[in-house]
Amino acid sequence: MTNTATGTLRRKPAQRRSAERVERMLDECARLLDEVGYEGLTTKEVARRAEVPIGTFYQFFPDKQGLVRALAYRNLEAYLARITATLAHTTINDWTEATDLVIDEFVWMKRSTPGFSVFDFGLALAEPGSSRMLDEALEDNLVVADRLRGLLIDLIGVPAGEVQARAFVVAVEAADAVLKLAFRACPDGDPDLIAECKRLVRRYLSDHLG
């Protein structure tokens, strides 16, 4: 079971049964995003499909946006866990291979993880603060870039520093834009555009990582 950050919930599940209910609600949220999108998502339907009382829903989530905020964080944790596990069983010769892997794992989740094609780590909505699903103070891509950089520093020793940190932010923003284009062009992601995304990120980061 994936642990949901306590900061995204109104209260932390105290028992296993409560934690399982939270996970079921997040699972149904993800499935409903695929079926009806964010606009069609309702807290009542999530609770019904998760087989929990609506009052239980509001014990853990303040509203619909709070629910998708928790899903965004769970998605990020699952993504980082996949990268960590893959790197642990893969021979990486340099950071360029690691960046390809980072993109491949994102594409895999886009293709196979419920709700991820609609709502990966956040979604710009018409609601105040909706571009800051992962952190109240930082925009989502800033959080993703920082977590990825920290992970790759620990696992493969990419250079650390202010310049490199800024480069990771630019790389994540650029990759996000190109991958969105790839999945608009084709439901499974246009392979040529995904290849261009990898090439763009490698060439850009080579100026900063060597």
User: What's 56's domain CATH number?
Assistant: 1.10.357.10
92 burial type by CB count under 10 A (0-12 exposed, 13-18 middle, 19+ buried): middle
Domain count, the chain: 1
The gap from C-alpha 103 to its chain's centroid, in whole angstroms, comes to 12
**Which contacts of 47-55 are long-range, i.e. CB under 8 A and separated by 24 or more positions?**
50/21, 50/24, 50/25, 51/24, 52/21, 52/24, 52/25
Q: Which of 138, 134, 149, 123 is nearest to 201 (CA)?
A: 149
Which range marks the domain in which residue 52 is found? 6-209
- 1 lies in some domain: no
Residue with tokens 């928790």: 70
- 199 lies in some domain: yes
DSSP-assigned letters across all residues of 73-95: HHHHHHHHHHHHHHHHTS---SH
Tens place of pLDDT for every residue, the chain, 210 residues? Answer: 344 444 577 677 768 888 999 999 999 999 999 999 999 999 999 999 999 999 999 999 999 988 999 999 999 999 999 999 998 888 877 788 889 999 999 999 999 999 999 888 876 554 555 567 677 768 889 999 999 988 888 777 777 788 888 999 999 999 999 999 999 999 999 999 999 999 999 999 988 876
- 14 lies in some domain: yes
Residue with tokens 């609600």: 25
- Confidence (pTM): 0.87
Structure token pair of residue 93? 């010769």
- 130 lies in some domain: yes
Tell me the C-alpha distance between 21 and 26, whole Å: 9
pLDDT at 2: 41
Structure token pair of residue 30? 């993800």
Tell me the C-alpha distance between 144 and 119, whole Å: 14
Rg (CA), the chain: 18
Tell me the C-alpha distance between 159 and 195, whole Å: 24
Structure token pair of residue 2? 């994936």
pLDDT by residue (tens digit) across 172-192? Answer: 999 999 999 999 999 999 999
